[in-house]
Amino acid sequence: MVLPAPHDHDRRKRVHPSKVKYEHVGSVRNDRTHLTSQDISTGQPPIRFLFIAVSLLIPVANAPQKPIIFRDPEVGDMVQVMPVPAIGAGIKDSLLVPGAELLATGQGVALVPLADGARLDADRNGIEVSMPGGLYLSRDLPAPGSAPGAGPEGDGALISPGGPVDLSRWMRGGTDKFVPEHQKLMARMAYIRPEEKNAQRLEVARHYLANGMAAEALGILRLIAQTDPAMVDTPNFAGVHGVAQYMMGRYPEAERDLSQAGLAKDPQAQLWLAAARSKQSDQPNKQALLLRLAPDDMKGLHARLRMALGTEAVRSTAAAGDSKGANRIIEAMNGPGLSPRDLGAISHMQGIAAQAGKQWDQAIAKYREAEDSASRPDRAYAARARIELQLKRGLISAGEAIAQLEKLRFAWRGEDFEYQLLKRLSELMVADARYADALRLMRTVVSNFPEHPDVPNVQQAMSDTFEKLFLGGLADNLSAFAAIGLFDEFQDLTPSGTKGDEMIRKLADRLAQVDLIDRSADLLRHQVRFRLNGVEKARVGARLAFLQLSDRKPGPALEALDASEVPDQPADLYDQRRYMRVRALADLGRSAEALALILNDNSDKAKELRAEIFWEQKRWPEVVSAVEQMVEPPLGNLPIEPKLARRLVDLATAMTLAHDERGLARLRRNFGAKMAKTEFREAFALLTSEPERGIIDPASVADKIKQVQSFQGFMADWTKRMQTQGLSSIN
């Protein structure tokens, strides 16, 4: 709506309050003052503001004299804000005025300059929007229905010729001419019809992007999408949006935009699309066929765009083994506008190209050059590449590589660098037999990067390393203490099922062999309680009971047997568990119960158990009777085996303590000659000596047979088997 001009000559006038809501800005001929109105939302009747040829006045009282200025973190615009004390006094709807944009606010005034010098000021009359020379005035617009651009001097959007992606043309003279060209594009907004504004905005976005201002371009493109959603699906919009997304590091979004069918025949769009795909792939060489053509389109680009496209083109081409192609791209990256950081990136790229050409010394030198550059990310990436190359060439050891890579953990944490560095460190630690450090680092990676798409691979690497340690035998190279400590720390990695059971079995065997009985028992107890069923539960329960008996803990041994009792046990396992129960009951002083369990059992184990129990009770005649049942003389001239020799010493000892002279004489007569050829000859001779040689000194007898350690019963064989073959070998 056009308001009549005031009759006085004051250049700033208020518009009287009215309840009319104006929907658009109008214009009149240049021989009249231009006035427009727009609502400001308040709790009182709407306040109007006045726009004239020189400035725009918003009549709000008690505004500060100077605005607060800050940068929009998303698009980079400098926003000027005037807070006001009146509650609810704000701009109801955003408004574009020549040279600036007034943002919608709940309270106060916020302005985004669209031309140099646009600013907010305040005095007693209110808040003023102005700029040097006055705000831009509209020219006369063509009559409604006339063709776009029919106004004076060819009014209409300034559309660049060329394809959907033509970055060098969009530069409009580059950095040196950026400000006047940008002002020209923005000033054009006042000349054109509303339906042409988005085309002009697209040209502004192109200009921003071509001059390395991707964030600013995205801000303009967002405004276009809000006002004309259908334009988003056009190739012209998608081309600008896709390249801008790439420049912001949003590669999936860039790929989506640049994959639009309308861009399939645009060479530059396809080049940027290949770069976006290469960025996301672990096989960048697949894009090399297209990216090696980058030099043809790169030379005329802004330095930021050259660097962004060129670095990925070098990586892709070098990954394909094309060192010459990579160097051609690097030559195209060089040019005006490069910063010290850019030069560091180029040194890094030269190292990559040299490595692709197997020029190892030159590659290392270029990497070191990049490490000394002003580019922090390239310092970190180049250092990592150099360390990997030196390790591959045998110039440093895995341990030295680990030490150097450790220093890079906080050198750069952007992109995927930190994740890949930690993952690689864990791999090297495994290779260097630093298993605990490797597993801890992998756990850190999983914890700190839970959403990373590669995390399942790290979790699998943790499980594989744990299995190699405790199933593959790597833990055998560790001390038993280190092995159980590692297992305890990462026991959550123990697999379910037979793999996990086998892992625990092996570790329990290892611990039992080195007398870490308690720790071995803990592992078996956990299996019995939580992991096993059926016969295997009974079998492991018997091993646990054996460990407890070996550690002189008959009570826990009985508990282990009770907790692992299952039906339908194999006969040999059932008997083994019964004998262990007999031994535990006897150790608890419940000998009658123990002997009742083997009352009619004539097996060797039962005989050994009876002899043991009688021995412990000093019932020597019963010991003699029990042991004699286990002694069978060797056939012919066969020598006496060590086990039989030990039994004969046990029998002679029992006969001596039972005062069985006839039995001793019989032993001397039947076994004396053959026992003289065994390691127990002196003890046997002393115990079976004739009475006329004098009374036997018990102390001398004890001294002679101390190696026998009293009666060697049914546990002895299992103990020996455990020490030589492992705990699980007993059943």
156: confidence class by pLDDT, cuts 50, 70, 90: low
Residue 699 has pLDDT above 60, yes or no: no
Q: What percent of the chain has pLDDT over 70?
A: 85
pLDDT of residue 13: 32
| Residue linked to tokens 């592992």 | 523
Token duo for residue 452: 């990373």
Residue 5 has pLDDT above 70, yes or no: no
Roughly how many angstroms between the first and final C-alpha of the chain, as a whole number? 100
Which range in 74-88, 158-172, 356-370, 596-610 is most confidently predicted, on average pLDDT?
A: 356-370
pLDDT of residue 136: 56
pLDDT of residue 729: 85
pLDDT of residue 263: 94
Question: Mean pLDDT lowest for which of 50-64, 272-286, 423-437?
Answer: 50-64
Residue 27 has pLDDT above 50, yes or no: no
pLDDT tens for each residue of 207-240:
999 999 999 999 999 999 999 999 999 999 999 9
380 neighbors 412 (Cβ within 8 angstroms): yes
**Separation of alpha carbons 706 and 547, rounded Å:** 25
Residue 285 has pLDDT above 80, yes or no: yes
**Separation of alpha carbons 189 and 465, rounded Å:** 65
- Helix or strand or coil: residue 113? strand
Residue 573 has pLDDT above 70, yes or no: yes
243 neighbors 250 (Cβ within 8 angstroms): no
618: left (phi over 0), alpha (psi -120 to 50) or beta: left
| 568 contacts: CB under 8 Å, gap ≥ 6 | 535
Token duo for residue 237: 């919009």
pLDDT of residue 60: 83
Residue 347 has pLDDT above 70, yes or no: yes
pLDDT of residue 694: 52
99 neighbors 25 (Cβ within 8 angstroms): no
pLDDT of residue 139: 42
pLDDT tens for each residue of 98-124:
788 899 998 999 999 988 888 898 888
Pairing assessment for the beta strands 40-41 and 90-91 based on DSSP bridges: antiparallel
pLDDT tens for each residue of 117-132:
888 988 888 888 888 7
**Residue count of the chain:** 731
Count Cα neighbours of 659 within 13 Å in the Cβ-side half-sphere.
Answer: 1
Residue 84 has pLDDT above 60, yes or no: yes
254 or 616, which is more confident: 254
pLDDT of residue 141: 40
Residue 372 has pLDDT above 90, yes or no: yes
* Burial profile 58-84: b = 16 or more Cβ within 10 angstroms, e = fewer: bbbeebeeebeeeeeeebebebbbbeb
**Separation of alpha carbons 613 and 193, rounded Å:** 112
pLDDT tens for each residue of 178-191:
999 999 999 888 87
The secondary structure of the chain in percent helix, strand, coil, rounded to multiples of 5, reads: 55, 5, 35
pLDDT tens for each residue of 422-474:
999 999 999 999 999 999 999 999 999 999 999 999 999 999 999 999 998 89
CA angle 509, 514, 520 (to 5 degrees): 45
pLDDT of residue 588: 93
At 354, which helix (H) or strand (E)? helix 340-356
pLDDT of residue 299: 85
Residue 42 has pLDDT above 60, yes or no: no
Residue 580 has pLDDT above 80, yes or no: yes
Domain ranges in the chain? 1-140, 449-479+487-597, 614-730
Average of per-residue pLDDT across 363-389: 97
**Separation of alpha carbons 463 and 415, rounded Å:** 27
Domain 449-479+487-597 annotated CATH 1.20.58: no
pLDDT of residue 693: 53
Token duo for residue 544: 């646990």
pLDDT of residue 691: 62
41: confidence class by pLDDT, cuts 50, 70, 90: very low
Residue 727 has pLDDT above 80, yes or no: yes
pLDDT tens for each residue of 644-686:
888 899 899 999 888 889 999 999 988 988 888 888 888 888 8
**Separation of alpha carbons 709 and 713, rounded Å:** 11
Residue 497 has pLDDT above 90, yes or no: no
204: confidence class by pLDDT, cuts 50, 70, 90: very high
Taking alpha carbons only, the member of 179, 466, 328 closest to residue 349 is 328
**Average pLDDT along the chain:** 84
pLDDT tens for each residue of 393-404:
999 999 999 999
pLDDT of residue 86: 84
Residue 19 has pLDDT above 50, yes or no: no
